[in-house]
Amino acid sequence: MEKTMSVEILAPGGSADGIYAAMLHGADAVYTGTRRFSARAFADNPSVEELCGILDFAHARDKKIYVTVNTLLTDPELEGDLYDLLLPLYDNGLDAVIVQDIGVMQFIHEAFPDLDIHASTQMTIVTAEGANQWKPYGVTRVVPARELSIGEIAQMRRHTDLEMEVFVHGALCYCYSGQCMMSQSIGGRSGNRGMCAQPCRLPYRQSSGKTGYYLSPKDMCTLGQVGELMDAGVDSFKIEGRMKKLEYAAMTARLYRIYADAHEAGVKPDDKELEKDVKNLMDLYNRGGFCKGYLFEKDKKNIIYKEKNGHYGVQVGTVLRVKKGEAVFRLTEEIAYQDVLEFRDENGEKVYEYTVKNGCLPPAEVTARYQKGCVIKPGQKVFRTKNAALLQEIGQAVEREKREDKLPVRGVFQAEIGKEMTLQLFCGAVSCKVTGICVEPAKGKAVSPEDVRKRLQKTGESDFTFSTLEVSVEEGAFLPLGQIAALRREGFAKIGRELKEGQLKKRRQVPAKRPQKPVVSEKIKKEHLFVNVTDFRQIYEVKSIIKEGNTKLVPVFPLEWFAGKCWRELASEMEEIPFMISLPVILDLPARKHFLQNWQHYGQELQKGNLSGILIQSLEHLPMLQQLEIDHLPRIAGPRLYQWNERTRQVYETFGMKEHTSLAAGRMAVMVTKGCVNQQTGNCLRTGGKPAPLEITTPKKDGFVSVPICEYCYNFCYEKEGKVQELQCEDDLPFAELALVEPHEIRKVLKQWNFLS
């Protein structure tokens, strides 16, 4: 795919003010939510009316607005509310929507044919094949999973002509986006419904007694890797942060724009300037410093900061000495009036905080009085958590840009006695002409061209300013100055309308049409009970139960739990008993390569057995089935595939999945993660450790078990206790998760879960 423009800088817009600030400060596009159906439900999202005005502002400046519809929707929301929400935005030239739910994707593509759809990172897309399958549904851009390396991004670029939007800065989720149900499990607030409570930012206690923020990644910053990202073929640099302040959106957009332009011009970044710019970004927000994300970090341990959560700030000094009520520290960074400084102990915990009254330069010694009871010692570090001077500088720059932001127009004014005065305006390829009153001979003082020019150039708070202005006034003519101002206002209003109509013509060829509600076909309820079997000891027990006459039970073998060399034994153990398999949930390029090698050597053993179908746990698996030569087998949508609405079910049917299973009992896998608690504690298999399931507990005693899937280098995080779960849909086929269930407990728990009588 040939690139025809520089990389797009895509900034977050958590509020109307933040959107304007980002566009004025360097963003080429902004993504934002409405007050419904956004994954950031608690942001100060603009109203639809505000967004219509924002669209006009953006398009007049050749910028774009993308709206997030990146949550799961119910049938009433999808069929009853979404069309009316998006229609005014579509009619005002909305550039794209960002979507997670494939039922929503199908609806939007049918209702708004000219609207680009961007496949959200919530879809956990890790390969080009996984992305390309959504082209028929209107997808023009893919936002890959944030866990991919720069090499995987470059490989994806070579095999898709979809635009590629990659997160380059900001917060990281611990879980693969879209796969997390921990917030729902703990407090009933689903991240897939825009209400994530961020349980990954809590401290967790291991069974050994150690406590840390094991699930809390650092923020990502790739300002120094902008060139590598551009060379890999990334089309859009996405900055996370819709919950952050407008100064953050403005500053990050400006810096990434500067560095992208420099790389395009062949200019290498200056090391000192880069260090300064990264430090400014850290002052705005960081968690435990920055990492380079999975894009560039070789060691996953560098991505997690387990000592502290929240804004880490920037170290500005070290305590030298302490006397009664006073601490003296030496500065390593300049501090300014209204900066907020924080003293931290050896564990990184805050022991005292104060606001600076007098600025100072390094390496000066600063004396700070502290409150009684605070334990401050020599050697403790001092951090700045609010850089007041930087925030003021950004705020002033944004205000200045607001005042100076005008669209340049060329104007031609003519006034001849006996004719109507005219004003022609030219803005790019768009032009218009307005006429005013008939020009009369002056009875007293005639109007001069300079009088007219001065009145026309009083553009005030309008969106336009004259780049050039030609004024022709016949000698001896009289014109009321108020009429000249009125003509200017009329001209600016008309050129504004012409610009908007021109933009809409480029974006809209097909009108919107409300889709018919899908016809719900009558479903024949089958009585199969699917049981996810995760080791050989469980196989023996489940096989025994089935042979006792419980033929409704269908064992499912998740292949990530069984080494490839064991697949022959797995198939032979089942003898005449039909079984199903599911592929490893995450098959990024390294994992896929390993899996295909396993399949080449051992896959035939499964097919020779009584393999009766495939349980699909990731939509990424669908393009692989033909390559594996198992696309002829029945396929069922697994419990990790969301089905919140009828349209999603019908899309599944087009992919051959006429039935859907839902977790009915067992431990829910609330996360699938690239990060690994075992690795953080030195137990990575690849470095000689002995990984094992690790129990972790929140401060409120919510328990989870992190299970490493070392062969494919990812982890499941399960609820500590198994339980009966509520089906997603009443006609779903029940699925029992036996992960972490001891073989001797299987019969008992299946009875408790109503899988056995």
pLDDT in tens, 266-320: 999 999 999 999 999 999 999 999 999 999 999 888 999 999 999 999 999 999 9
| pLDDT bucket at 47, cuts 50 / 70 / 90 | very high
How far apart (Å, rounded) are the C-alpha atoms in residues 406 and 596? 57
Q: Residues 369, 231: one domain?
A: no
- Please say which residue of 477, 507, 537 terminates a domain: 507
Which DSSP string do the residues of 239-256 spell out, in sequence order?
Answer: E--TTS-HHHHHHHHHHH
The reply to whether 278 falls in a domain is no
Q: Copy the structure tokens of residue 639.
A: 């419990």
Instruction: Judge whether residue 575 has pLDDT over 90.
Output: no
The reply to whether 200 falls in a domain is no
The reply to whether 326 falls in a domain is yes
Q: Residues 224, 245: one domain?
A: yes
The reply to whether 301 falls in a domain is no
Q: Residues 661, 732: one domain?
A: yes
Instruction: Judge whether residue 39 has pLDDT over 70.
Output: no
pLDDT of 616-660, one tens digit each?
A: 999 999 999 999 999 999 999 999 999 999 999 999 999 999 999
Query: How many domains are contained in the chain?
Result: 4
- Please say which residue of 209, 242, 267 terminates a domain: 267
Say how far residue 717 (Cα) sits from the centre of its chain. 21
| pLDDT bucket at 41, cuts 50 / 70 / 90 | low
Which of 619, 704, 632 is CA-nearest to residue 127? 619
The reply to whether 284 falls in a domain is no
The reply to whether 514 falls in a domain is no
DSSP 3-state assignment of 709? strand
Q: What is the mean pLDDT of residues 88-101?
A: 96
Q: Copy the structure tokens of residue 325.
A: 């009520």
304 beta partners: 217
Do the beta carbons of residue 438 and residue 418 sit within 8 Å? Answer: yes
Q: What is the mean pLDDT of residues 395-413?
A: 94
Question: CATH number, domain at 552?
Answer: 3.20.20
How far apart (Å, rounded) are the C-alpha atoms in residues 198 and 200? 5
- Please say which residue of 367, 402, 437 terminates a domain: 402
| pLDDT bucket at 475, cuts 50 / 70 / 90 | very high
Which of 715, 738, 713, 734 is CA-nearest to residue 725? 734
Peptide bond into 269 cis (omega under 30): no
Q: Residues 481, 535: one domain?
A: no
Report the alpha-carbon angle 260-1-504, nearest 5: 80
Question: CATH number, domain at 361?
Answer: 2.40.30.10
User: Residue 64 sits in which domain range?
Assistant: 8-172+217-267
Question: CATH number, domain at 238?
Answer: 3.20.20.70
Q: Residues 552, 464: one domain?
A: no
pLDDT at 228: 97
Q: Residues 484, 547: one domain?
A: no
Q: Residues 35, 131: one domain?
A: yes
How far apart (Å, rounded) are the C-alpha atoms in residues 580 and 703? 30
Q: Please indicate whether residue 500 or residue 522 has the higher confidence score (pLDDT).
A: 500
Q: Residues 120, 243: one domain?
A: yes
| pLDDT bucket at 676, cuts 50 / 70 / 90 | very high
Q: Residues 372, 448: one domain?
A: no
pLDDT at 4: 44
Residue 46 Cα distances to 15, 49, 54, 244, 438, angstroms: 6, 8, 9, 15, 45
Q: Residues 377, 457: one domain?
A: no
Q: Residues 489, 551: one domain?
A: no
The reply to whether 102 falls in a domain is yes
Q: Residues 536, 661: one domain?
A: yes
The reply to whether 600 falls in a domain is yes
Q: Please indicate whether residue 725 or residue 600 has the higher confidence score (pLDDT).
A: 600
